[in-house]
Structure 1
Amino acid sequence: MDIETLAFEEAPVGIVLTECRIIRACNLTFSSMLGYRREDLIGQSFRMLYPSGEEFDRIRDIGLEPLKRDEYYSDERMMSTANGVMIWCRFRAHSLTPSDPLAQVVMSFTRIADTPPVALSPRERQVLGGIGRGLTSKEIAHELGLSPRTIDDVRARLLRRFSVRNAAELLAKLTYLDQ
């Protein structure tokens, strides 16, 4: 095995190359993090790794502007494993084709923590994803087409459920749940 291939395969983070949101290559770290065999991921839409089609469609446009400027984009998001368990991941992306940012993208994924034993609703996952990207309630509301009050209600419910005082503590608690 040549040194470049070895570095790709043995990287301590999941690495993926996509073309138009279709997985064209991934390392073993990525496939094992999500509970798949690599050959079951190659050629598949990234849709299979999101909890819903709505979430897959919504997340498409997030981060496009930095990718168009040939910059990196990073956030934290929920990903669905082969057995349906949601895991919290740190995501980073760079487009190889800034003029058409989703044509070819190199991405890395690092597992942060599993979701808590209490199941999260799709809306809670959306709000948590926005919080993880550093968005305000107003920005999350605009992104989801909801009122800021609705987002505030979901945020307050999450804070109560996890017995934390603010979004930073919520993210910290989720980050270290399995450590």
Structure 2
Amino acid sequence: MNPVSPLIHLVDDDDGVRAGLALLIGTVGLRVAHWGDPQAFLDGFDRESVSVIVLDVRMPGLSGMTVLQLLREQGADQPVVMLTGHGTVDMCRRAFKAGAAEFLEKPVDDDALLEAVLNGVRAHVQGRAREAAGRDARDRYAQLSAREREVLALVVAGLTSKEIARALGLSSRTVETHRANLGEKLQVQTLAQLIRHYAALVEAHAAGSTPGTA
């Protein structure tokens, strides 16, 4: 088994439930970590890992809803699949509002659980990839001069080198030099790649400043 494959955390105070779910999840080649104590899980959980959390709602001590809320308050981005033997519409609504990826009732259907876990793994892997692309875009953007950032925004807006030269009061040759520098610093070779890079940067700044203002 790949030692760096995604890890599925089973947080449930029922040993039998954890054992059964672990066997089921193991059939699709995923690693499983067992947690009978929700507080021990919170203390030992690696928030940097690519993982999915399968979390029982009703447990002694901390409830599953409390654990979910604490995870989100602490910035954990792992998808959480909530399990309950006594589900209500209100409980389901509160779970999704708190950030749960899925809400399933016990006894859990095997196919439904596997689908929820695998969807969670895919979502987390894709989310981490987007974050990495965003960090890379910001790092490269930080290397650009103020003028190069202006040229970049106008290139992405669809202006030609001559139009950019007129807009910025530069010579066409100077604009071409800036465009060449953009390609080198951003490590792109085509206009399409440049636009994709800029799009990743815009997404990375969606919750903060926008390109050209930072």
User: What's the TM-score, normalizing by structure 1?
Assistant: 0.34
TM-score normalized by structure 2? 0.28
Which structure carries more relative contact order (alpha carbon 8 Å, separation 6+)? 1
Bigger share in helix: 2
